């Protein structure tokens, strides 16, 4: 399993993937941070779904983490795409057969791949956190938002809590992508279905059907990233979303073990 972990990590460190991921994470984080601060006085809102986050809120100790938590949803989509592609392409390129020659246990291959991709997700979230905090200080100076509270112990605790929440959400989206990759065995199908489901279907149904977002893993993971809200608690969102994901992962693990290695 350790050899599978190292082999998968080598694939993830390829410049074609790592550099494009860095660019995507930087773009997502910069976009959400800049919109949050530059539109702070806009009546149309500067947060998700038109929510207005005022100067008084940004000046709080937790204000330094808001842009980072707002980027969690898009970070999750990036993770979903990477996990799905790295899983499904083993079937497309026929490399799974070669892996099984060296490591006959399919479960060890699956666990090793998941472990390496989790480490990759940690690197993604760490980069996003550093960039979000740095840009928050920069844009706060541009918009004359006081940052004295950002240097307090409460702010440090808020940063750590937000980092953990965003990391859990990002890994959750990644596991969702891995489930789709194992299920459809095609990177294009897995990515397109995952993105459409999370960005369009879940969002639309949540608007028109009351409380249905309590049963959507993508919506729940977004709530995990923000630490919960008035309707859905953090604990419910975390345990329910990961319950769905672990159940789905168990099902596709059985399929992965029994299905033919070719697509």
Query: Band of the pLDDT at 99, cuts 50, 70, 90?
Result: confident
pTM, two decimals, is: 0.94
> Average pLDDT for residues 71-83, to the nearest whole number?
95
- At 84 the pLDDT is 95
pLDDT mean across residues, the chain = 91
Going from the C-alpha of 112 to that of each of 2, 6, 67, 256, the distances in angstroms are 7, 8, 32, 14
Q: Let me know: does 185 contact 260? Beta carbons within 8 Å.
A: no
Least confident of 90-99, 119-128, 174-183, 225-234: 90-99
Q: What is the pLDDT of residues 243-253, one digit of tens each?
A: 999 999 999 99
- At 98 the pLDDT is 79
- At 262 the pLDDT is 61
Phi and psi of 140, rounded to 5°? -65, -40
- At 117 the pLDDT is 94
> Average pLDDT for residues 163-180, to the nearest whole number?
97
Question: Among residues of the chain, what percentage have pLDDT more than 90?
Answer: 71
Q: What is the pLDDT of residues 114-144, one digit of tens each?
A: 999 999 999 999 999 999 999 999 999 999 9
d(CA 221, CA 168): 8
d(CA 78, CA 69): 15
Per-domain residue ranges of the chain: 2-258
**Comparison of pLDDT for 170 and 207, the residue scoring more:** 170
Query: Looking at the predicted structure, is the pLDDT value of residue 59 above 90?
Result: yes
Query: Band of the pLDDT at 44, cuts 50, 70, 90?
Result: confident
Going from the C-alpha of 162 to that of each of 86, 125, 197, the distances in angstroms are 27, 11, 25
Going from the C-alpha of 250 to that of each of 4, 107, 111, 254, 257, the distances in angstroms are 20, 11, 12, 6, 11
């Amino acid at each position: 399993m350790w050899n599978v972990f190292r082999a998968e990590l080598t694939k993830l460190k390829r410049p074609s993937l790592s550099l494009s991921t860095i660019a995507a994470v930087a773009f997502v984080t910069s976009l959400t941070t800049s919109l949050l601060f530059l539109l702070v006085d806009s009546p149309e809102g500067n947060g998700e779904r038109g929510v207005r986050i005022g100067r008084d809120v940004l000046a709080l100790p937790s204000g330094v983490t808001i842009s980072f938590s707002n980027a969690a949803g898009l970070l999750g989509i990036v993770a979903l795409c990477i996990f799905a592609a790295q899983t499904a392409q083993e079937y497309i390129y026929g490399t799974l057969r070669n892996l099984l020659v060296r490591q006959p246990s399919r479960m060890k291959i699956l666990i090793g791949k998941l472990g390496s991709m989790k480490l990759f997700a940690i690197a993604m979230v760490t980069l996003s956190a550093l960039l979000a905090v740095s840009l928050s200080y920069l844009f706060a100076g541009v918009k004359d938002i006081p940052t004295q509270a950002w240097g307090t112990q409460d702010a440090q605790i808020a940063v750590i809590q937000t980092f953990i929440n965003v990391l859990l959400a990002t890994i959750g989206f990644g596991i969702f992508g891995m489930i789709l990759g194992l299920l459809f065995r095609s990177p294009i199908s897995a990515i397109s279905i995952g993105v459409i489901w999370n960005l369009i279907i879940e969002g639309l149904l949540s608007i028109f059907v009351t409380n249905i977002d309590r049963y959507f893993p993508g919506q729940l993971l977004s709530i995990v990233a923000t630490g919960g809200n008035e309707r859905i608690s953090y604990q419910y969102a975390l345990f329910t979303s990961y319950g769905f994901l672990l159940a789905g992962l168990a099902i596709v693990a059985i399929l992965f073990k029994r299905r033919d290695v070719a697509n």
